[in-house]
Structure 1
Amino acid sequence: MTEQQTAHLGAVTAGIGAAELDRIAALTGEMDAHHPHAPHLYLWFLGVHASRRGQGWGGRLLEARLARADEQSLPSYLEATSPRNRALYERHGFEVIGEISTEGSPPMWQMWRDCR
């Protein structure tokens, strides 16, 4: 992350308790430990404002990034954080390659899509 992104994340998480921050750190460590080493486009974050969910914005954002990956002949990787997100990514050609979790966290699914 950039210095600005790190500062923003710190501001957003300032009110989170120590136990929650420890769990986030543990989960981030698991994500890092299981991250693929092959060249790829990492789709770290994709979000749609709550008022726009269910209107196809997530799919359009994803398609734009996947088109870029395909132009560069790169596979794509991400971690899905919910069954709904997982289904979206599967509709766009991603396959589950693993599952990540840590004590007290819900599962995250590692997902991979070969370039087209």
Structure 2
Amino acid sequence: MATIHESAEIETATKAEEQQVINTLVLAFSSDPMMRWFYPSTNDYMEYFPEFVRLYGGKAFDHGTAHTLHDFAAAALWLPPDVDPDEDALVALFQEALPEERLAHTFSVMEQLDGYHPTEPYWHLPVIGVGPTQQRRGYGSTLMQYALETCDREGEIAYLESSNPLNISLYVRHGFEILGVIQEETMPPLIPMVRTPRE
């Protein structure tokens, strides 16, 4: 079981703090296999990934479900049941940012993901990350457990897609199960996972 740091004060990030949260996540994902497959160029990554985070998880700021700790050392964006990412805007962003071959693979992945989404109401974790200098201190586990307590209390499913195989063990420790593996040719694996609420 992951250690919960008593000193870790989890805070809800406001809309005004959105950029600070995104900055943390940009650093956290700078070596993520899937995200760097999308944006192998550093310039492209810095230009497009912040907007990807905004479109994929930014609605968390509107619902009070953007969590941070230790002065933005780590952050997690959760979407409550029936709140979805802005898919049309994501498609437009991909069309602007990706070459044709990568774009075709991306659209295929999006279609495959639709088949893994739970059919009943669920909490979605689009993005969670810890700044590179703050990793291996249990901050990711602390943020994860904090949100999952809500899922358990409300009796609702949690769902995520892991873009980095190194994070699978963290998610499994918190009760997530692998649903499958999505992979297109040279693209790193994307792993949808689900967690049923605990009594």
TM range (shorter): 0.7 to 0.9
Q: TM-score, normalization: structure 2? A: 0.48
Q: Which runs of 5+ in 1 are unaligned?
A: none
Q: Which letter does structure 1 place at the counterpart of 2:189?
A: P
Q: Residue in 1 aligned with 2:106?
A: 24
Total equivalences in the alignment: 112
The Cα of 1:14 is off from its aligned counterpart by: 5.2
Structure 1 residue corresponding to 2:136, chosen from 35, 44, 54: 54
Structure 2 residue 144 is the aligned partner of structure 1 residue 40: no
Residue 46 of structure 1 aligns to a residue in which SS? strand
Q: Which structure: larger Rg?
A: 2
Give the distance between the partners of 2:114 and 2:149, measured in 1 at CA: 25
Structure 2 residue 77 is the aligned partner of structure 1 residue 77: no
Q: TM-score, normalization: structure 1? A: 0.77
Give the distance between the partners of 1:99 and 1:33, measured in 2 at CA: 12
Q: RMSD value over aligned CA atoms?
A: 2.5
Residue 25 of structure 1 aligns to a residue in which SS? helix
Give the distance between the partners of 1:90 and 1:24, measured in 2 at CA: 26
Give the distance between the partners of 1:53 and 1:16, measured in 2 at CA: 30
Residue 180 of structure 2 aligns to a residue in which SS? strand
Q: What is the aligned-residue identity percentage?
A: 30
Give the distance between the partners of 1:49 and 1:71, measured in 2 at CA: 29
The Cα of 1:62 is off from its aligned counterpart by: 0.9
Q: Which runs of 5+ in 2 are unaligned?
A: 1-84
Listed one character per residue, the Cα deviations across residues 27-83 of structure 1 (whole Å, up to 9, x for unaligned) are 222212332212221212212222222221211111121111112110211122222
